[in-house]
Amino acid sequence: MTDSPYWNPRHETMARKDVEALQVRKLRNLVEWADSQVPWQAKRLRDAGVTADQIRSLDDLQRIPIMTRDDWMQGQVEEPPFGSNVAVPRESAIRYHMTSGTTGKTPIRVLDGMKDWEWIAEMWCYGLWGFGVRPRDVLFVAFGYSTFIGFWGLHYAGEKLGCLTLPGGAMATDQRVKQIVDMGATVVASTPTYALRMAQEARALGIDLAGSSVQRLILSGEPAGSIPATKKLIQEEWGARAGDTAGMTELGTIMIYIEEVLDPESDRPVAHGEMGERVVTSFGRGFIPVMRYRTRDLVVKVPGMSCRCGRTWDLYEGGIRGRVDDMKLVRGTNVYPRAVEAIVREHPEIDEFQIHLYTAEGRRDEIEILVEIPDQEADAGGITARLEKELADAHEALRFGVKQVDLGTLPRFELKAKRLVDDRIVIGTEGERRAQV
């Protein structure tokens, strides 16, 4: 069985009807646990008229109230510091992590017990094994190892798999690149942005990453890992296969869950093949039981049979397509940063970019794309002109200004990139004042 393509053949190839029966069983247990251990959850369930013994099919899931980030944050305000969704005394926890805070300023705080934390690593193992990572691999983790959960779970999964696992924390980018090469790393984990940053650094150091021993890149933390043009660029720079993973501090890295895709407005399920918001129920973390958590991630779910790998789980075609709250309205046109990046990355001459929104003449929304083009021989004027046209064509003729800026002007990122800067002092076209200026 050591040559199995599956980490857990029983789970990964289970007939769909059995997957659903197992999910119902686990859901019933989770409702019972939350109801008995978390007064806050018990009240929500009682108000919705839900008891564990009433859970008989996945349709019953719809009766459980959806949980939001705001609910979580409110719980932290009412019962600081860990909130009202904690099922076990803090003394039983062995790990504390928090969000990186990209959406809100106050981080979400999570606790894990010993078996919860093992489960987090276990979920990563499903993904790593499925992507071809094996005990013989040398895994370099290009990550800052802070209280941000990031690649912590992957690190422990690497050890569990038997990989030689190299913790790449507290190192400058050039040191990381050199160690990857010197140690013969075969797998590298990083954010998509940082994979590109390391490739830039390697070029500056005269290191041929594509000729190195790296065969696989594990990407996480940003939608860019599933943007075809960005993924292609990363794969070319590294001469390696790139695989994207989806996770959240609140949920862990997502493998064995109940995944719903709902219309973000109506909260009704959307059909396979239609875009909607992921709403996730997690089974492994009893410390913080999470049912129907609203992720704000936009996805398109398709049946597992659409892949030939033999797994019966549903898939997210194209990975995470963006976030519900990422969308910006510019002169009446919806602009998604992910869509802009997909177009920008079609131009490999562009090293780094930034989406800049600002208010012109005190009343008009404008959007400009600032780009760095390091190659002095490149036709920068032609590239920016083509990019302006392509962006306009993809956005109902919305005018984008594309400007070349000096090399090194734009910020570089190690974790989650923040390439959108919204400096508008009004929103819309009628001068409605922004709440935060």
User: Residue numbers of the site for other proteins (CB under 8 A)?
Assistant: 8, 10-11, 14, 18, 21-22, 25, 29, 33, 87-88, 92, 113-115, 117-119, 122, 284, 286-287
DSSP 23-87: HHHHHHHHHHHHHHH-HHHHHHHHHHT--GGG--SGGGGGGSPPB-HHHHHHHHHHSTTT-S---
Q: How far is the CB of 99 from other proteins (least distance, A)?
A: 24
CA 430 remoteness from chain centre:
35
For residue 116, give the nearest of 47, 33, 224 by alpha carbon.
33
Beta carbon nearer to other proteins, 68 or 92: 92
Q: Indicate the length of the chain as a whole number.
A: 437
d(CA 258, CA 24): 9
Beta carbon nearer to other proteins, 122 or 352: 122
Q: How far is the CB of 92 from other proteins (least distance, A)?
A: 5
CB 353 within 8 A of CB 372: yes
Beta carbon nearer to other proteins, 18 or 274: 18
Q: How far is the CB of 291 from other proteins (least distance, A)?
A: 16
Q: How far is the CB of 117 from other proteins (least distance, A)?
A: 8
Q: How far is the CB of 242 from other proteins (least distance, A)?
A: 27
d(CA 212, CA 354): 30
Beta carbon nearer to other proteins, 120 or 344: 120
User: And the tokens for 97?
Assistant: 């992590």
| Radius of gyration of the chain from its Cα atoms, rounded to whole angstroms | 23
Whose structure tokens read 């998509």? 192
Beta carbon nearer to other proteins, 77 or 114: 114
Beta carbon nearer to other proteins, 125 or 246: 125
Q: How far is the CB of 425 from other proteins (least distance, A)?
A: 51
